[in-house]
Structure 1
């Protein structure tokens, strides 16, 4: 649950920061293909980077470096365990439940769009023009989806400038703009709760038209092409996945067709995108380990051949295991740890680091505090460790041995 929330939070950060960079640095450029590439990479970054999990530099053990073994941090809140469990259910589970309901609804809308396109193609009159399939139907407006070109009924026989319309839509297909729309739908499904995806959608839609207009004006007179756009303007969009003529873009497109092109030197600004992507990768994909206290034990010492009487190991072939595994250990700590009232009154919180030995019989011996926060918190942590049930002892070369471990216990006020 926490991993999902972290993924969505980090993905939202990526979408926001990259959108700000695009608006500030790139949007006014006339390098349409470069802008399109940046936006597509931004969408992929938001989907992929938060899902990656690389250990930070501190998590890498270099040759001959000290090796450290630490049990997972256990966190105790100031309220009792039953209140915590209920809160986790009522808030975290509710949030995740609402999220997946939204995912199902948006995904259903996306799939219905695909089904609608398939149904429309079966009802339409079809004509092939090279690799493109021209589809005519009374309900269609000029639009395209991959190699499908949608046209009003009778367009091929009577509509004026139909060759220009077909050329416009086939250019969308040549640029593979429909793949962009599919990627946008995936982002919309995952981040449906964060409306910034609609800004990417509008920006890419405009860039698609800029690319097509740029190519069309190289083959057709600018004034006649602009007049065609005005004549074919529609006031509504015909679908989520198709490209069609729509009114809100016309003014921008006409302005962009007539304004001077950006200078080639302006492309240098795109070099700044690389460090932005690298910083985001480091921010959301590289995990910084929690506080680590090193235990003085080298790899060569761990592989010692001769076992000495009462020797204490930090690393062994088979590490000690608490009763019923880590889940049982967490349950034991949850049921037995109490937040001292004196620490609550003083609003003291923090992490107590303990060190103890699991001996050859599996008993915990010699527990001690190696990093103190407060005497009462230290005493409570020591009390619970001293009363711990026996563990399964560690094994080295077939013999039960003494193993030293450390445990962080985080006391946190709500």
Structure 2
């Protein structure tokens, strides 16, 4: 019985062993989310009828077994209340009319009325049943039956029940053998009573089907030392099970502060110190040209509030020093493909064949980027561009050293998807120039945002239909389908002039493949009605959150 209690308790036990793992913390600028459209698409998990069917089957069988369990308890209780009783030591004898072998339920021993009056019940049988009463074996039977009612699908419980009943009979037989010291007589008595009527399964009774094992057990002698060793052998086994199942090793970060030279660190406040920040709301057109409609703030960086700094954080990334890395021979050979890659070496645009003069170890650092179709030129039609820096150039430009100060004196930023930086260089700087930028008329391939449109892009059959399309086609990943998880996925895409969706990006997701699934659904979306300006279709940047709810 104790084994069942321990097995039930083990899943709820948890012992944590904290193991410190040294880590070095790196402070990154906080991410400031871009403005999203007001639309909010909710994806709710579709109904899983298989799960409902399985749980329904479990519920029906459990209810039937519960009725059976309660019915049998009621039978035994009503039998004890409706028949005459006699006090016998610490038990109550219930005298019943039907021909039955003595059997026990709680403190009641049920025996035949005529057998009791005619003294046909041997003392050994009374002693046997009294052991069941004294050691409260009925409680063990009720407990295992209750577990079977709830966990009826677990076959091990049925074996446990048989083992518990057999152990009860061993204990009762042991008491009889010790009290009367007449094993042959008691064995013959068991064989004679072996054909008696079966009793209700909740009762402890003499007529148990494994009589052969009981007869063997009566003649088996086990010394106290052997019994003690068998009991103590359980301790290491139990310890091992608890360690495997209940001990969790938790990695706790131990912050290790590495001493770095003072000139290798950049303080954000020092980097932008004295730089004026002008942050504009949006652009509007007037008769005299374009001008800014509203200035959100115009002040030096050190005078900005915390919320203002957070709002422009994406545009004020501090350049980090480069760590040397060289391409592999295979990569270097791939970059020689002039149709695919535009190449710069030490800041100069060169033909791809120039890479033939270099070995991988000659390159101190390299990086690349993807060029979107609308950004490619006749000179550089390639989809990728890569920069390579040799060791002499890397050392000369001190690329592994942080830039101590912002190179200009002013940063101008405006919102609504038309963000640019206008830097006015310090007058004292070499080759000082004043960079002035005025918004120009957009080209055919330019992107627009929702605020600039006269007609917003829309799903062909309405936004509500788009909600239904997302909800019916989005498949919640298996990893979270069984968990109660909710959250949002933030996606952006371009609604092209012909209504197709392109450049789909997942800006933030919940993990477990939720972002990939959202991208798949958006890629398969039917065409939209494009955004328009004065009736003319334009390419429009669109962003939206998708709410995920798994129940």
Q: Give the TM-score range, shorter chain.
A: 0.5 to 0.7
By how many angstroms is 1:260 displaced? 2.4
Higher helix share: 1
By how many angstroms is 1:257 displaced? 1.1
- 1:5-24 matches, cutoff 5 A: none
By how many angstroms is 1:198 displaced? 1.5
- Deviation string 1:314-337 (CA, Å, 9 cap, x unpaired) is xxxxxxxxxxxxxxxx99964575
Q: Does 1:37 align with 2:36?
A: no
Query: In 2, distance between residues paired with 1:65 and 1:236?
Result: 76
Change beyond 3 A, Cα 1:379–1:251: closer
Q: Secondary structure at the match of 1:388?
A: strand
Change beyond 3 A, Cα 1:103–1:386: farther
Q: Does 1:282 align with 2:246?
A: yes
- Deviation string 1:192-219 (CA, Å, 9 cap, x unpaired) is 1233321111111100011111122111
Q: How many residues were matched structurally?
A: 279
Q: Does 1:155 align with 2:115?
A: yes
Query: In 1, distance between residues paired with 2:542 and 2:249?
Result: 33
The equivalent position to 2:77 in structure 1, one of 99, 102, 118, is 118
Q: Does 1:92 align with 2:51?
A: yes
Change beyond 3 A, Cα 1:335–1:191: same
For the aligned residue pairs, the C-alpha RMSD in angstroms reads 4.8
Higher radius of gyration, 1 or 2: 2
Residue 543 of structure 2 corresponds to 387
Residue 322 of structure 1 corresponds to none
Query: In 1, distance between residues paired with 2:211 and 2:470?
Result: 65
By how many angstroms is 1:355 displaced? 8.9
Q: Secondary structure at the match of 1:151?
A: strand
Q: Does 1:267 align with 2:231?
A: yes
Conserved 8 A contact 1:367-1:382: no
Q: Secondary structure at the match of 1:309?
A: helix
By how many angstroms is 1:130 displaced? 3.4
Conserved 8 A contact 1:134-1:151: yes
Change beyond 3 A, Cα 1:331–1:275: farther
- 1:46-57 matches, cutoff 5 A: 46=8, 48-49=9-10, 52=12
Conserved 8 A contact 1:372-1:378: no
Q: Which has the higher contact order (CA 8 A, sep 6+)?
A: 1
Residue 309 of structure 1 corresponds to 308
Query: In 2, distance between residues paired with 1:248 and 1:267?
Result: 27
Conserved 8 A contact 2:83-2:95: yes
Query: In 2, distance between residues paired with 1:223 and 1:172?
Result: 22
Residue 251 of structure 1 corresponds to 212
Conserved 8 A contact 1:126-1:134: yes
The equivalent position to 2:65 in structure 1, one of 97, 106, 126, is 106
Residue 20 of structure 1 corresponds to none
Q: Secondary structure at the match of 2:154?
A: coil
- TM-score by structure 1 length? 0.55
- Deviation string 1:67-119 (CA, Å, 9 cap, x unpaired) is xxxxxxxxxxxxxx99x835x12x11000000000000000000010111122
Query: In 2, distance between residues paired with 1:257 and 1:65?
Result: 70
Query: In 2, distance between residues paired with 1:247 and 1:204?
Result: 12
By how many angstroms is 1:146 displaced? 1.1
Change beyond 3 A, Cα 1:110–1:332: same
Query: In 1, distance between residues paired with 2:512 and 2:160?
Result: 50
By how many angstroms is 1:372 displaced? 11
By how many angstroms is 1:356 displaced? 6.7
Residue 200 of structure 2 corresponds to 239
Conserved 8 A contact 2:474-2:518: no
Question: Where does the alignment leave 5 or more consecutive residues of structure 1 unmatched?
Answer: 1-35, 67-80, 289-305, 314-329, 340-353, 358-364, 392-406, 410-414
Residue 128 of structure 1 corresponds to 87
By how many angstroms is 1:191 displaced? 1.4
By how many angstroms is 1:367 displaced? 2.2
- Deviation string 1:384-414 (CA, Å, 9 cap, x unpaired) is 99632599xxxxxxxxxxxxxxx9x9xxxxx
- 1:154-173 matches, cutoff 5 A: 154-173=114-133
Conserved 8 A contact 2:92-2:107: yes
Question: Where does the alignment leave 5 or more consecutive residues of structure 2 unmatched?
Answer: 27-42, 251-304, 314-466, 477-487, 492-504, 526-540
Q: Secondary structure at the match of 1:238?
A: coil
Query: In 1, distance between residues paired with 2:105 and 2:202?
Result: 7
Residue 507 of structure 2 corresponds to 367
Q: Secondary structure at the match of 1:149?
A: strand
Change beyond 3 A, Cα 1:179–1:336: same
Query: In 1, distance between residues paired with 2:71 and 2:121?
Result: 32
Residue 223 of structure 1 corresponds to 184
By how many angstroms is 1:229 displaced? 1.8
Q: Secondary structure at the match of 2:5?
A: helix
Query: In 2, distance between residues paired with 1:390 and 1:243?
Result: 61
Change beyond 3 A, Cα 1:366–1:41: closer
Change beyond 3 A, Cα 1:101–1:287: farther
Query: In 1, distance between residues paired with 2:154 and 2:73?
Result: 23
Change beyond 3 A, Cα 1:55–1:118: same
Change beyond 3 A, Cα 1:307–1:356: farther
